[in-house]
Amino acid sequence: MDRELAREILIRDSMTEWAVIGSRRRGRTIKKTPRKTVSKLINQIGAGAEGRSPIGQLKMGIKNQNPSKVKMGPKKNGQTMGNAALKKHVATAEKTGVLNLSKSKLDEFPEDVMRLKGNLRSLDLTFNKLSTLTPAIGDFSSMKVLVLDQNSLSSLPHEIGKLIKLETLSVAGNKLKSLPDSLEKCVSLKQVQLQSNQLTEFPVMLCWLKHLDLLDLSANQVTRIPREAEHLHVTELNLNQNRLDDIAPQIARANRLKTLRVQENCLTISGIPTAILTDSCVSTLAVEGNLFDMRQFTHLEGYDQYQERFTAVKKKLS
């Protein structure tokens, strides 16, 4: 068989003993040949002309390749984002100050992102596989928005307190059991989203943040609202789907609080402080799904005063 005609050898079915050898050069097709013959021909071509034939080149590539040094391209279809794609996102963020790496299958904080620590304003790492957040997050001095939803974080680093320009922090859908006290230093915070975690204590370090407008702690395991809550500056506090059995009456002194949500908890009717109804600015108090009948709620002292506030706000918004 003429070696020059054998430009391409294709073994189509690994379960049979036949192969088809085709020639592109002269447009000829050679009849089916037993696998042993094909193997012998491959060895002949490869042995004397490894640098010239496709088979020889393939053999040389396999023989000389070090598997540990194989460089893979960007991974797709649910695998980790490749270096090329990441670098492209980072390059764009250098101009815009906004970086979205959501759904990138990241299991650690990308080192390339550290290039942006001086000018990155918004970082979205939603739907990744992060179990820890690098302490270097504190070096992003311009950060205003940090979104870490739907990861596997069990804690936040103390260094997050260095983000004095941070306005929005969202860590929903993680495994947080506690929060660092250093969050009290994030003096620009306006919104904190901590729903669907494993928090058991109310984050009192957030009570003195003067710009904080929304605090969402729904779907956690918090058992009580402490007296420190009187210092809250939020207009809305969400504690739905927790394990609350006690609300400190001092919360009525939080003079910016307009909406308090405590649905689906373990509160009895005596666990609702009448001061919230009589002496607070709360105009929306959501208490359904607790250990009392809603008719009992309407009979509480101060309910009529609360209802007046509720109706006034409703008319104003309509």
Q: For residues 267 and 13, which has the higher predicted lDDT (pLDDT)?
A: 267
Residue corresponding to tokens 């192969």: 19
Highest CATH level, class, for 83-317: alpha beta
Whether the CB-CB separation of 191 and 213 falls below 8 Å is answered with: yes
Q: Which residues contact 208 (CB under 8 A, 6 or more apart)?
A: 184, 231
Q: What's the pLDDT score for residue 268?
A: 98
Q: Which residues contact 77 (CB under 8 A, 6 or more apart)?
A: none
Provide the CA 30 distance to its chain's centre, in angstroms: 58
What mean pLDDT do residues 93-104 have?
A: 97
What's the whole-model pTM score?
A: 0.75
Domain ranges of the chain: 3-69, 83-317
Q: Quick count: other Cβ atoms within 10 Å of Cβ 116?
A: 20
Residue corresponding to tokens 């915070």: 189
Whether the CB-CB separation of 276 and 253 falls below 8 Å is answered with: no
Q: Is the pLDDT of residue 242 over 50?
A: yes
**In angstroms, how far apart are the furthest CA atoms of the chain?**
103
Whether the CB-CB separation of 140 and 119 falls below 8 Å is answered with: no
Q: What's the pLDDT score for residue 44?
A: 52
Predicted confidence (pLDDT) per residue in 140-191, tens digit: 999 999 999 999 999 999 999 999 999 999 999 999 999 999 999 999 999 9
What mean pLDDT do residues 272-290 have?
A: 97
| Distance, CA of 80 to CA of 135 (rounded, Å) | 22
Name the pLDDT band for 83 (thresholds 50, 70, 90).
confident
**What tokens appear for 85 in the block?**
């794609």
Q: Could you tell me how many residues make up the chain?
A: 318
| Distance, CA of 11 to CA of 308 (rounded, Å) | 83
Name the pLDDT band for 28 (thresholds 50, 70, 90).
very low
Positive or negative, the Cα torsion across 255, 147, 242, 288?
A: positive
Q: Is the pLDDT of residue 303 over 90?
A: yes
Whether the CB-CB separation of 145 and 167 falls below 8 Å is answered with: yes
Q: What's the pLDDT score for residue 318?
A: 85
Q: Is the pLDDT of residue 283 over 90?
A: yes
At residue 120, φ and ψ (nearest 5 deg) are -75, 125
**What tokens appear for 162 in the block?**
């260095």
What mean pLDDT do residues 294-306 have?
A: 97
**What tokens appear for 24 in the block?**
């592109």
Name the pLDDT band for 63 (thresholds 50, 70, 90).
very low
| Distance, CA of 113 to CA of 69 (rounded, Å) | 24
